[in-house]
Amino acid sequence: MTYCLGVITRYGIVMAADSLTNAGVDYISNYQKLFNFSDPGDRVIVLCTAGNLSMSQGILALLRKDLKAQAEANLHTLPSMFEVARYIGQKTRQVLDENRTWLQQDKIEFQSSFLLGGQIKGEEPCLFLIYSQGNCLQATKETPFLQIGEAKYGKPILDRTLNYDIPLEDAAKCALLSIDSTMKSNISVGPPINMVMYEADSLLIRHQLRLPVGDPYLVKVRKYWEGALRKAFDHMPPLDWHDPQPNNFVPSPAFPDPTEAPVGSDIS
Amino acid sequence: MTYCLGVITRYGIVMAADSLTNAGVDYISNYQKLFNFSDPGDRVIVLCTAGNLSMSQGILALLRKDLKAQAEANLHTLPSMFEVARYIGQKTRQVLDENRTWLQQDKIEFQSSFLLGGQIKGEEPCLFLIYSQGNCLQATKETPFLQIGEAKYGKPILDRTLNYDIPLEDAAKCALLSIDSTMKSNISVGPPINMVMYEADSLLIRHQLRLPVGDPYLVKVRKYWEGALRKAFDHMPPLDWHDPQPNNFVPSPAFPDPTEAPVGSDIS
């Protein structure tokens, strides 16, 4: 599996991805899933990819082919991020259409989706999710993040802490913790973690990091975070237990017949 | 959906469940999913249920029927928690076998699973997951928790903070936060939250709570926790960014042909 996420705040964009790929549990390998297609000074374009690796590679190959051939429409000529998103969606449709029948008949998952983050000179920074069907969705101020792949484990920390106004460095810490939480809870997501932080209007990526297996910073952060959570328990308001008398519990003979009363002994 | 979890530590057991049930998104209702079948002084038996509500109710009805009829084997006569788990597994198989064909032919999800936690006099406390197939799995000291239902959102906080030696009250706080995280990230899991905390060897449940929608304690805890997480960011070791020169980024004409080089411009 894969886990990628993008965060947009008023100060810029953070994008991050794990690097583990698996076909079943007995074929696991590392593939980069975060790609920088920027043209510094004119535009920043960062892509993350999840889903069938062969499809994703095929789509990326088409994007590069257009760049190399200086096709009229390519990642460096299209005038807006929305058009870039639609263009990637078209390439996605093209590659999936070529392969769908063959993969489908063998029940192989062929979906492939992308996160696209960046900024084109003269526009605001923006963040898109390009679905495997080729349509796209833009992140908004209300929900300033998008995820693809194994998204559930890492969502609570985003839901609890992210908003459009937080400092970019905090958004990056949050993204890192979101990926680290996912890696800890699911072996199909794993390092190296690749992350970029893009400061709005700089039209250049100045901050990037790559954290391989056993990276001392990652070890330190994990230890720190677990300590911080445990400490937070200590100061959490004490639980407001009801303290029933033993005879408040319905004894066995009184368990109601389900045809007579609601199911179960009420514990409230 | 549903989210239930059980935690076992050397000091006892915590079990918790949400109360939301949905058939599609347009039929949502509240059903209790945590049931107390204890016989205080002799045994504590707490069940949580996830899956097809109709199946779960059918299984609970059989459990109660045996109790009422004082059948030779019932929740209050079986001599060990392992046998209680196997007995619930048998009832699960019975109810599912009766219904499987009819539900399957209409592609209706009919799985139903249980968490069973408690203690029988003379035994250690223990915690089981009873699968929809009727087999069961016991929690161990190495992984002292079990989950059923919508388990992914709430797993990271358990993975990061739980161990067999933590105080029972901390385990309860962790369980509550795990459910609250899930509720915040997934609308199919919702209040009231029911929770019990069982102190080992007491053979009696002294602590239980029920937190309905908008409960002031739940509101307070959520606010506290989000503040604590944000504060933890502030003290987190600063990210160790690489700070590349602009010309370290491969400019557009140099994007490699996928047939010649690894996919993508390396961001490391």
Enumerate residues 6+ apart whose C-beta is below 8 A from B20: B1, B2, B28, B29, B30, B188, B189, B190, B191
Binned at pLDDT 50, 70 and 90, residue B244 comes out as low
Touching check for A233 and chain B: CB below 8 Å? yes
Count Cβ atoms below 10 Å from residue B39 Cβ, excluding itself: 19
Chain A residue with minimum CA distance to B263: A57
B118-141 in b/e burial notation, b at 16+ Cβ within 10 A?
Answer: bbbeeeebbbbbbbbebebeebee
Domain B3-229 CATH assignment equals 3.30.420.40: no
Beta strands in chain A (DSSP E): 3-9, 12-17, 20-22, 28-30, 34-36, 43-51, 112-120, 126-130, 136-138, 145-149, 193-199, 207-211
- Among candidates B143, B168, B148, B141, which has minimal Cα distance to B158? B143
Give the least confident one: A5-19, A86-100, A172-186, B76-90: A172-186
| pLDDT > 50? residue B148 | yes
Separation between Cα atoms, residue B94 and residue A186, nearest integer Å: 33
**Could you write out the DSSP letters of every residue in A88-136?**
HHHHHHHHHHHHHHHHHHTT----EEEEEEEEETTS--EEEEE-TTS-E
Which amino acid, residue A66? D
Which residues in A lie closer than 8 A to residue B252 (C-beta atoms)? 37, 39, 67, 75-76
With beta carbons less than 8 A apart as the criterion, state whether B114 and B107 touch.
Answer: no
**Could you write out the DSSP letters of every residue in B171-225?**
HHHHHHHHHHHHHHH-TTS-SPEEEEEEETT--S--EEEEE-TT-HHHHHHHHHH
| pLDDT > 80? residue A61 | yes
Bridge partners of residue B30, in order along the sequence: B20
Query: Is B57 in Cβ contact with A255 (below 8 Å)?
Result: no
| pLDDT > 90? residue B240 | no
Q: Which CATH class is domain A3-230?
A: alpha beta
Which residues in B lie closer than 8 A to residue A163 (C-beta atoms)? none
Bridge partners of residue A29, in order along the sequence: A21
Q: Which residue has the tokens 């890492």?
A: A154
| pLDDT > 50? residue A251 | no
Which residues in B lie closer than 8 A to residue A207 (C-beta atoms)? 239, 241-243
**Arithmetic mean of pLDDT over chain B:** 87
SS3 string, A60-77, reads HHHHHHHHHCCCCCCCCC
Touching check for A176 and chain B: CB below 8 Å? yes
Separation between Cα atoms, residue B95 and residue B101, nearest integer Å: 12
Q: What is the pLDDT of residues A212-250, one digit of tens each?
A: 888 999 899 989 999 998 888 888 988 988 755 443 333
Touching check for A3 and chain B: CB below 8 Å? no
Count Cβ atoms below 10 Å from residue B29 Cβ, excluding itself: 10
Binned at pLDDT 50, 70 and 90, residue B190 comes out as confident
Chain A residue with minimum CA distance to B216: A240
* pLDDT at site A244: 55
| ipTM field | 0.78
Helix axes A168-185, B216-235, angle to 10 degrees: 110
| pLDDT > 80? residue A253 | no
Bridge partners of residue A117, in order along the sequence: A46, A127
| pLDDT > 60? residue A254 | no
Query: Is A252 in Cβ contact with B35 (below 8 Å)?
Result: no
Count Cβ atoms below 10 Å from residue B71 Cβ, excluding itself: 12
* Bridging pattern class, strands B112-120 and B126-130: antiparallel
Enumerate residues 6+ apart whose C-beta is below 8 A from A221: A176, A177, A180, B236, B237
Query: Is A40 in Cβ contact with B210 (below 8 Å)?
Result: no
Query: Is A208 in Cβ contact with B244 (below 8 Å)?
Result: yes
- Among candidates B208, B227, B247, which has minimal Cα distance to B40? B208
Interface residue of A19, A60, A160, A224 to substitute, partner B, most B CBs within 10 Å: A160
B118 to each of A14, A29, A223, B66, B158, how far by Cα in Å?
46, 42, 32, 19, 20
* Bridging pattern class, strands B193-199 and B207-211: antiparallel
Helix, strand, or coil here: A20?
Answer: strand
| pLDDT > 70? residue B266 | no
Which residues in B lie closer than 8 A to residue A235 (C-beta atoms)? 224, 228
Touching check for B15 and chain A: CB below 8 Å? no
Q: Which residue has the tokens 């374009």?
A: A45
Beta strands in chain B (DSSP E): 3-9, 12-17, 20-22, 28-30, 34-36, 43-51, 112-120, 126-130, 136-138, 145-149, 193-199, 207-211
Instruction: Measure CB to CB from residue B210 to each of A65, A161, A268 and give the nearest one.
Output: A268
Touching check for B110 and chain A: CB below 8 Å? no
A228-255 in b/e burial notation, b at 16+ Cβ within 10 A?
Answer: bbeebbeebeebeeeeeeeeebbebeeb
Q: Which residue has the tokens 């490391």?
A: B268
* pLDDT at site B100: 93
